[in-house]
Structure 1
Amino acid sequence: MHSDSKDPNDAAPPESAVSGSDMLRRVGECRKKVMGLYRLLGNKADVIKGFAKRCNEQWEVAPKSEIGLYLGDIQDHILTMTGNLTHYETLLSRAHSNYLAQINIRMNERQEQTADVLGKLTVLGTIVLPMNIICGMWGMNVKVPGQDVENLHWFLSITAGLVIFAFVCFYVAKRVYRIV
Structure 2
Amino acid sequence: MRPDNGLSSLQDPDQEGSCTPKLDALRDGRKQIRSNHVFPTNNSSSNQPGINRFSMFISLSGTTIYTSRLADLTLLAPSSDGSFGAGMAGEIWWLDVLNSTKEDIKTLAKAFSLHPRTCAFINAEDAHERVEFFENYYFICFPILTENENGTLKSKFQKVNFHIVVFPQGIISFSFQHNSHSANVRNRIWAIRNDTVLSSYWICYALINDIVSSFDSAVHKLEQETCVIEESAFISRLDEVGATVSKIHNYRKHASNMAHLVQDKVSVVRSLVRHCAKAHQGAPLYDISLSLSAVQDHINSMISKLKHCEEILSRSHSDLISQLSVDKVYLRNQTLRIIIRITVIAAIAVLLHAICSLFGTNFEVPGEHTDGLDWWFGILGLIVFLFFLGLGVARQYKLI
TM-score range, shorter chain: 0.7 to 0.9
Q: CA deviation at 1:156?
A: 6.9
Q: CA deviation at 1:121?
A: 1.1
Structure 1 window deviating more from structure 2 (131-140 vs 110-119): it is: 131-140
Gaps of 5+ in 2: 1-227
Residue-by-residue CA offset, 1:68-103 (whole Å, 9 max, x unaligned) = 110111111111111121111111011112112212
Matched, 1:40 2:226: no
Choose from 352, 369, 379 the match for 1:131.
352
Residue-by-residue CA offset, 1:111-156 (whole Å, 9 max, x unaligned) = 2112111111111111111111221333343x46526664888777
Larger % of strand: which?
2
Matched-pair contact (CA < 8 Å) for 1:137–1:144: no
The equivalent residue for 2:201 is none
- TM-score under structure 2 length normalisation: 0.36
Residue-by-residue CA offset, 1:51-79 (whole Å, 9 max, x unaligned) = 11112225449861111110111111111
The equivalent residue for 1:109 is 330
Pairs within 5 Å for 1:75-114:
75-114=296-335
Write the letter of the residue equivalent to 2:351: P
Choose from 27, 37, 44 the match for 2:248.
27
Identity among equivalent positions (%) equals 26
Q: Distance in 2 between matches of 1:159 and 1:103?
A: 48
Q: Distance in 2 between matches of 1:132 and 1:90?
A: 62
Matched-pair contact (CA < 8 Å) for 1:41–1:78: yes
Larger % of helix: which?
1
- TM-score under structure 1 length normalisation: 0.75
Q: Distance in 1 between matches of 2:380 and 2:305?
A: 78
Choose from 326, 346, 366 the match for 1:146.
366
The equivalent residue for 2:398 is 178
Matched-pair contact (CA < 8 Å) for 2:278–2:284: no
The equivalent residue for 2:274 is 53
Q: Number of residue pairs matched?
A: 166
Question: What is the Cα-based RMSD across aligned positions, in Å?
Answer: 3.2
